């Protein structure tokens, strides 16, 4: 069986004609959701050969794993690998004029807390693209504490509040075993503040080992802030347009399994974090590593602050999603977000 190694080469390049044919199949399939036949491919301007030739090339493309046939005597549909080639050879498209305006207007008018901006951004993304969107906010592992205080909430309850340099607020309720006087709380609060200001969330703080109710209060407050991380890394995730998964797939089973993944925000975040270091990226079907997402593709654009990926925006659609549009949208929105956060960074100096 000494065949040419055309099948094994993973970084395989296709000759111009195969590429044109693959491109035509993918494009049309994305448009129609139907298997694509040789004749319609041959009709494409970029191909320019007869259906018969297209057919023989298609056989090759199928052998090489770029196309598949739902059944004999049907047209071809792209495999994940076919989409992969398509995406890898996509020339950088640009966002439509109308969408650009929408994005600009959105970012000019949106205001308020970061969380609100991120949440509304996820809505924007999904309404622009008709796909489900995921927005992951910057983690504040590198933020430092700007202020810490303990607020008395009743005889045996107190709240520890820490304000971070990025504007986030962490809070922890303390249930106290014994009653603590208001004065003790105030005392502990100011000591805690002095102790923690400037510290970052991922470092330990040296505690003076003293005795007494106040010292104990400080100890417990510090522990609460540093040890109980509410969401992993304090990530903020916002998912927009989850109802759109029902548009993207034919069967309720697929819809259910995709929604099932989206529900596990931890999974979604780690998925995006894995991908986002690579820059603007597409992951297709099996590449995502989840059986439930085998019918999906995800476009991720990192939101970089000072060149470091801090957050990300993602679009989740069917593998036959409109990649050029999704890529352009994700890119544009991530840049706007980066610009906004970067601006704030700068302002803070």
Partner DNA sequence: CGTTGGCACTCGGTAGAATCGAGTGCCAAT
Partner DNA sequence: ATTGGCACTCGATTCTACCGAGTGCCAACG
Three state DSSP letters for the chain = CCCCCCCCCCCCCCCHHHHHHHHHHHHHHHHHCCCECHHHHHHCCCCCCCHHHHHHHHHHHHHCCCEECCCCCCCEEECHHHHHHHHHCCCCCCCCHHHHHHHHHHHHHCCCCHHHHHHHHHHHHHHHHCCEEEEECCCCCCCEEEEEEEEEEECCEEEEEEEECCCCEEEEEEECCCCCCHHHHHHHHHHHHHHHCCCECCCCCCCCCCCCHHHHHHHHHHHHHHHCCCCHHHCCEEEECHHHHHHHCCCHHHHHHHHHHHHCHHHHHHHHHHHHCCCCEEEEHHHHCCHHHCCEEEEEEEEEECCEEEEEEEEEEECCCCHHHHHHHHHHHHHHHHHHHHHHHHHHC
Query: Of 25, 33, 28, 30, whose CA–CA distance to 250 is shortest?
Result: 33
Query: What is the gyration radius of the CA atoms in the chain, in angstroms?
Result: 26
Surface-to-core class of residue 206, CB atoms within 10 Å of its CB (0-12 exposed, 13-18 middle, 19+ buried): exposed
Interaction of residue 242 with its own copies, rule CB under 8 A: yes
> Of 53, 68, 99, 294, which lies in the binding site for DNA, with binding defined by CB under 7 A?
53
> Of 27, 69, 229, 242, which lies in the binding site for DNA, with binding defined by CB under 7 A?
69
The minimum distance between CB 167 and DNA, in angstroms, equals 55
Interaction of residue 38 with DNA, rule CB under 7 A: yes
Applying the rule CB under 8 A, the residues between 244 and 273 that interact with its own copies are 244-247, 249-253, 255-257, 259-260, 262-263
Q: Which is nearer to its own copies, 47 or 269 (CB)?
A: 269
For residue 5, the partner it binds in DNA, its own copies, none, with Cβ less than 5 to 8 A by kind, is none
Applying the rule CB under 8 A, the residues between 134 and 193 that interact with its own copies are 146-147, 149, 151-157, 159, 161, 163, 165, 167, 169, 171-173
The minimum distance between CB 208 and its own copies, in angstroms, equals 24
Interaction of residue 109 with its own copies, rule CB under 8 A: no
The minimum distance between CB 262 and its own copies, in angstroms, equals 8
Interaction of residue 40 with DNA, rule CB under 7 A: yes
For residues 20 to 49, the per-residue mask of contacts with its own copies, x marking binding by CB under 8 A and - elsewhere, is ------------------------------
| Cβ–Cβ < 8 Å for 47, 20 | yes
Interaction of residue 113 with its own copies, rule CB under 8 A: yes
Interaction of residue 29 with DNA, rule CB under 7 A: no
> Of 9, 13, 39, 252, which lies in the binding site for DNA, with binding defined by CB under 7 A?
39
The minimum distance between CB 63 and its own copies, in angstroms, equals 35
For residue 157, the partner it binds in its own copies, DNA, none, with Cβ less than 5 to 8 A by kind, is its own copies
> Of 1, 3, 45, 71, which lies in the binding site for DNA, with binding defined by CB under 7 A?
71
| Cβ–Cβ < 8 Å for 17, 74 | no
The minimum distance between CB 116 and its own copies, in angstroms, equals 6
Alpha-carbon gap, residue 312 to 323, rounded angstroms: 17
Q: Which is nearer to DNA, 13 or 202 (CB)?
A: 13
Cα dihedral sign, 328-333-338-339: positive
> Of 45, 73, 109, 228, which lies in the binding site for its own copies, with binding defined by CB under 8 A?
228
> Of 56, 94, 156, 231, which lies in the binding site for DNA, with binding defined by CB under 7 A?
56
Applying the rule CB under 7 A, the residues between 72 and 131 that interact with DNA are 72-76
Residues making contact with DNA (CB under 7 A)? 17, 34-40, 49-53, 55-56, 58-59, 62, 69-76
Residues making contact with its own copies (CB under 8 A)? 112-114, 116, 146-147, 149, 151-157, 159, 161, 163, 165, 167, 169, 171-173, 228, 230, 241-247, 249-253, 255-257, 259-260, 262-263, 344, 347-349
């Amino acid at each position: 069986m000494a065949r040419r190694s055309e099948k094994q080469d993973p970084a395989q390049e296709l000759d111009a004609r195969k590429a044109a044919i693959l491109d035509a199949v993918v494009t049309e399939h994305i448009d129609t959701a139907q298997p694509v036949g040789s004749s319609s491919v041959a009709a494409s301007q970029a191909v320019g050969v007869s259906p018969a030739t297209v057919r023989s090339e298609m056989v090759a493309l199928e052998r090489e794993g770029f196309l598949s046939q739902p059944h004999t005597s049907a047209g071809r549909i792209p495999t994940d690998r076919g989409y992969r080639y398509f995406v890898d050879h996509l020339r950088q498209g640009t966002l439509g004029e109308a969408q650009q305006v929408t994005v600009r207007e959105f970012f000019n008018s949106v205001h308020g807390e970061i969380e609100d901006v991120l949440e509304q951004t996820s809505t924007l993304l999904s309404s622009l693209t008709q796909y489900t969107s995921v927005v992951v906010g910057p983690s504040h592992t590198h933020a430092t504490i700007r202020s810490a205080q303990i607020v008395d909430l009743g005889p045996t309850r107190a709240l520890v509040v820490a304000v971070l340099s990025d504007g986030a607020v962490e809070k922890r309720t303390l249930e106290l075993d014994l009653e603590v006087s208001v004065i003790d709380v105030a005392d502990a609060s100011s000591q805690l503040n002095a102790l923690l200001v400037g510290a970052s969330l991922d470092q330990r703080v040296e505690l003076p080992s003293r005795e007494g109710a106040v010292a104990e209060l400080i100890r417990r407050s510090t522990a609460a802030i540093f040890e109980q991380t509410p969401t992993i890394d304090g990530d903020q995730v916002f998912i927009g347009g989850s109802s759109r998964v029902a548009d993207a797939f034919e069967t309720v089973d697929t819809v259910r399994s995709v929604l099932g993944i989206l529900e596990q925000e931890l999974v979604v975040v780690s998925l995006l974090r894995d991908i986002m270091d690579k820059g603007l990226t597409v992951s297709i079907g099996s590449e995502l590593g989840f059986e439930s997402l085998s019918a999906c593709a995800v476009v991720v654009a990192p939101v970089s602050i000072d060149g470091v990926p801090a957050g990300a925006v993602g679009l989740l659609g069917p593998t036959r999603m409109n990649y050029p549009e999704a890529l352009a949208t994700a890119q544009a929105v991530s840049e706007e977000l980066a610009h906004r956060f970067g601006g704030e960074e700068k302002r803070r100096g």
